[in-house]
Amino acid sequence: MNAVLGVGGGIAAYKSAELARALQERGYRVQVVMTAAAGKFITPLTFAALTGRKVISELFASASDESTLASAVEHIAVAQENEVLVIAPATADLIARMAHGLADDFLTTLYLAFTGSVVVAPAMNTNMWTHEATRANVETLRRRGHIIVEPEEGLLACGTVGAGRLADPARVADAVAALNNPARQDLEGETVLITAGPTQEPLDPVRFISNRSSGKMGYALADAAVKRGARVLLVSGPVHIAPPRGVELIHVETAADMRAAVMERLPESTIIIKAAAVADYHLHNVPQHKVKKTATRLSLELDPTPDILAEAGQKKGDRLLIGFAAETERLTEEARRKLNTKNCDMVVANLVNQDGVGFEANENEVTLVLSTGEILALPRAPKQEIANRIFDTALTLRLSLHATR
């Protein structure tokens, strides 16, 4: 197996040497391509010594080689000889050039000519990573089917603490290796109904009640289920992320909309996962016009929204029902209470007042409370990994439940 390792110009470039070794340990023959900026942080000689191959860093050949046809189209040859292109670190500038199809050096030219799998491992300052331009560019790459290995949180070279640190090289190498080891198809034949994101309950034509849910956990579950062979019905509140390939997406806004969508599709589902953060209250009579601001206090009378999880629990039959509990205290106790009162088979509980996990974060740390009495604590990990652990547990749980029925 042949892989191109594209090294961008960031302080994390030194970790790419470790990544080159990790790829070799997983059976890849590695060709390194460096940007000019990458050479300011680590020398080509380091990669040549590790891989035993010439490192490419220039788009145009040297004077002694420029007359040969082979050197003139080297980026095409490299694209054809390799099955996977790994870009790590992928700087904000490099991601932007890839997203917009700019080709002004060997790496970006190679990218446009490459037809194999692409794995991108971003690394940059936290503010650069969260900037809307970078987020839009990353989503463009996702829509092209590229694998994005999300950066980790921690102390960055600039002295700040936050998301943006290059993912551990072993984790990036595992993502590459997974391309040749497709996920097991243990959900084939299942129809998984997943809710994700927040709901928005209008107060007038311009205002609404909502919450901080980003939908990332629900979308990670949908992505994992599709990759494991399931048909996925994804009922999503308003979010700003692209849906995984292969899901059947149903857009909703309010809790009432979400309830209607879930109940309509519940009969065809075999597994129901209520990961959405549904608003608990709504305004019953929404004004037709914008409420004007005055100097007086404004009071609202809010009614409870429909309890979708409880209703699904009453109608689930032999279906597996998994709920979520976002808590700030008494995590296990509240999860167990929800499990019993909503007739769930499993509740996935997490504390949302911890830094770096839960709402809006790329990682999660959850406790699984099962109807069999088991309690499983899953340590902090990317939400995609948590999603797969949830499905692993769900399938084992269903076998146990069927054995006792």
Contact between 398 and 372 under an 8 Å Cβ cutoff? The reply is no
Q: What is the mean pLDDT of residues 102-131?
A: 92
Contact between 56 and 32 under an 8 Å Cβ cutoff? The reply is yes
Residue linked to tokens 């560019």:
137
Q: Is the pLDDT of residue 13 over 60?
A: yes
Q: Are residues 103 and 209 in the same domain?
A: no
Global confidence as pTM:
0.60
Per-residue pLDDT band at 306 (split at 50, 70, 90): very high
Contact between 210 and 255 under an 8 Å Cβ cutoff? The reply is no
Instruction: Please give the pLDDT value at position 174.
Output: 87
Q: Catalytic residue, from 158, 286, 381, 395: name it.
A: 158
Q: Are residues 111 and 244 in the same domain?
A: no
For 221-260, letters b (16+ CB in 10 Å) and e give: bbbbbbbbebbbbbbbbebebebbeebeebebbbbebbbb
Mean pLDDT of the chain: 89
Q: Is the pLDDT of residue 317 over 90?
A: yes
Per-residue pLDDT band at 269 (split at 50, 70, 90): very high
Q: Are residues 199 and 343 in the same domain?
A: yes
Per-residue pLDDT band at 155 (split at 50, 70, 90): low
Q: How far apart are CA 205 and CA 36, in angstroms?
A: 52
Boundary-marking domain end, from 124, 144, 178: 178
User: What confidence tens digit (pLDDT) does each residue in 22-53 have?
Assistant: 999 988 999 999 999 999 999 999 999 999 99
Q: Are residues 323 and 372 in the same domain?
A: yes
289 within domain boundaries: no
Segments in 26-81 forming alpha helices (H): 44-51, 69-72, 74-81
Boundary-marking domain end, from 150, 178, 206: 178
Q: Are residues 228 and 328 in the same domain?
A: yes
Q: Are residues 129 and 229 in the same domain?
A: no
313 within domain boundaries: yes
Q: Are residues 156 and 205 in the same domain?
A: no
Q: What is the mean pLDDT of residues 304-317?
A: 96
361 within domain boundaries: yes
Which of 15-19, 382-386, 400-404: highest mean pLDDT? 15-19
Per-residue pLDDT band at 63 (split at 50, 70, 90): very low
Q: Are residues 163 and 270 in the same domain?
A: no
Per-residue pLDDT band at 210 (split at 50, 70, 90): very high
295 within domain boundaries: no
183 within domain boundaries: no
User: What confidence tens digit (pLDDT) does each residue in 285-298 have?
Assistant: 999 999 998 888 98
Ordered DSSP codes for 299-332: ---EEEPP-HHHHHHHH-TTSEEEEEEEESS-HH
Q: Is the peptide bond preceding residue 306 cis, with omega within 30 degrees of 0?
A: no
Q: Is the pLDDT of residue 215 over 90?
A: yes
User: What confidence tens digit (pLDDT) does each residue in 353-377 have?
Assistant: 777 766 778 888 999 999 999 999 8
Q: Is the pLDDT of residue 65 over 60?
A: no
Q: Are residues 244 and 140 in the same domain?
A: no
Q: Check if 344 is active-site.
A: no
Q: Is the pLDDT of residue 156 over 70?
A: no
Q: Is the pLDDT of residue 67 over 60?
A: no
Boundary-marking domain end, from 178, 210, 244: 178
Q: How far apart are CA 137 and CA 165, in angstroms?
A: 18
Q: 395: domain CATH number?
A: 3.40.50.10300
Q: 133: domain CATH number?
A: 3.40.50.1950
186 within domain boundaries: no
* 38 or 179, which is more confident: 38
DSSP secondary-structure letter at 145? T
Instruction: Please give the pLDDT value at position 70.
Output: 44
Q: Are residues 157 and 214 in the same domain?
A: no
Main-chain phi, psi angles of 119, to 5 degrees: -120, 125
Which structural domain range is residue 89 located in? Answer: 2-178
21 within domain boundaries: yes
Q: Are residues 173 and 235 in the same domain?
A: no
296 within domain boundaries: no
Q: Are residues 271 and 209 in the same domain?
A: yes
If one counts the domains in the chain, the total is 2
